[in-house]
Copies of this chain bind each other. A is one copy, B any other.
Amino acid sequence: MVKDNIMKQTDGLFHDIFKEIAQEYPELEANSQIIDIGAANLADRPQNFDVVVTLNLYGDIISDIVAQIAGSVGMAGSSNIGEIVSMFEAIHGSAPDIAGKNLANPSGLLNAAVMMLVHIGQPDIAAKVNNAWLLAIEEGIHTGDIFKAGVSRIKVGTKEFADAVIGNLGHLPEKFKPVSFGKAKKIIIPEYKKIIQKKELVGVDIFLDWTGNDPNELGNKLKSLSNDLMLKIITNRGVKVYPDGQPETFLIDHWRCRFVSKNALIQQEDPSYHPISHKQIAELLLKLDSAGFDTIKTENLYYFNGKRAFSLGQGE
C-alpha cells in the first residue's frame, strides 16, 4: 500500500522496488492498493488480506486498525527483523495514561515474546506460553479493553491476567485450536543489489521565507539576481504562483523557487533540462543572501537515467 498517485517520487520508489522484489518470488501473488482505499478495505474486510507491505507511517496506522477491529490494540505483538539484530514489541504505544495502574492488557507483549521465542529457536516454549494465553482468553478472563458483558467471565487487571496465563502453563485451549510451532527457519535477508543509475544535477528548489504577498515582485527580483541559473517557477503550498499565477491562490510566507540551467528548454510540453553544477547553486545562495533573502532549505533536482526524478508543481 502506497500513495504514489500523489507522492510520485518517494512512494513511487517504494512501489518500484516492491515490484522489482516481487518478481523474485513468482510463487507469491503481489498486488497494490492506494493507502486510502487499502486502509478502508482492510478496516472493512480484513479477511481479504494476507501480508501487507507498506511504509512506516501507513504501517503504524493500519496495524492499529486491524488489531482494534479484531478486539483491541492491546492484543497483538510485532517483530522487526534485521540482518544482525531483531526486535519484538507490542504493536501499541506506551499508553502513559494507564501506566502503573494495573489496567494494561499484557497480551501484546506476551504475543511479541512468543514471536521472539520462535525466532530464537525455542518453539516449544513459545507454544506453551501461547496455548496458556489462548486458554485464559477462552476462559473469559479479560482485561478491561476486551471485556464484554455476556461474553467475558471476569474483568481482571494486568497482574491477574498474567497470573491466569502462568496458571495455565502446560494446558491447552479447548475451543481455540492449540498452536504448535515447528523449528523456525532462519530468516535470511538477501542482500539488495542496488541498480546504479546515471545521476545528473539539473536544477534546484530554493525555499524562501519571504513576507511579501506579490509573487510577481518576488519573481522579478529573483530573475534579476540569477544571471547564471534561470528561475523557472515559484510555487506556494505546491501551487504555481509565478509566472502567470491565479489571484485566488492563498499565499503563505513559504515560497519554493525552482531554478534550472539557462539553456533548459522549458517552453515545450515535456521540458528538457541541462546539467548545472553545485558551485552554481552555492553562488546563487550567496547572491540571495547578499540581496537579503532568507533561504530556509534547498532541494536539488536530478535526472536518473535521463528521467526526471522530481515532481512538478500544480500548474507547472
Chain A interface residues toward B at CB < 8 A: 3, 5, 34-37, 39-41, 43-44, 57-58, 60-65, 67-69, 73, 82-85, 92-93, 199, 209, 248, 250, 277-279, 281-283, 285-286, 288-289, 294-300, 302
Q: Which residues of B contact A302 (CB under 8 A)?
A: 296
Taken together as a complex, chains A and B put the C-alpha atoms of A61 and B57 apart, in Å, by 12
Known: A5-B93, A279-B286. 10 other contacts (CB 8 A): A35-B60, A36-B60, A36-B93, A39-B62, A40-B69, A40-B73, A57-B57, A277-B289, A282-B283, A285-B285
Shortest CB–CB separation between residue A183 and chain B, in angstroms? 26
Shortest CB–CB separation between residue A275 and chain B, in angstroms? 13
Q: Is the CB of B57 within 8 A of A43?
A: no
Q: Is the CB of B286 within 8 A of A282?
A: yes
Taken together as a complex, chains A and B put the C-alpha atoms of A92 and B41 apart, in Å, by 13
Taken together as a complex, chains A and B put the C-alpha atoms of A44 and B70 apart, in Å, by 9
Taken together as a complex, chains A and B put the C-alpha atoms of A139 and B62 apart, in Å, by 35
Taken together as a complex, chains A and B put the C-alpha atoms of A145 and B169 apart, in Å, by 47
Q: Which residues of B contact A85 (CB under 8 A)?
A: 248
Q: Is the CB of B69 within 8 A of A43?
A: yes
Q: Is the CB of A40 within 8 A of B65?
A: yes
Query: Can you tell how many copies of this chain the complex includes?
Result: 2
Q: Is the CB of B299 within 8 A of A297?
A: yes
Considering the complex, give the chain B residue whose CB is closest to the CB of A285: B282
Shortest CB–CB separation between residue A98 and chain B, in angstroms? 13
Q: Is the CB of B44 within 8 A of A68?
A: yes
Closest 3 CB pairs between A and B? A40-B68, A40-B64, A43-B43
Q: Which residues of B contact A3 (CB under 8 A)?
A: 57, 60
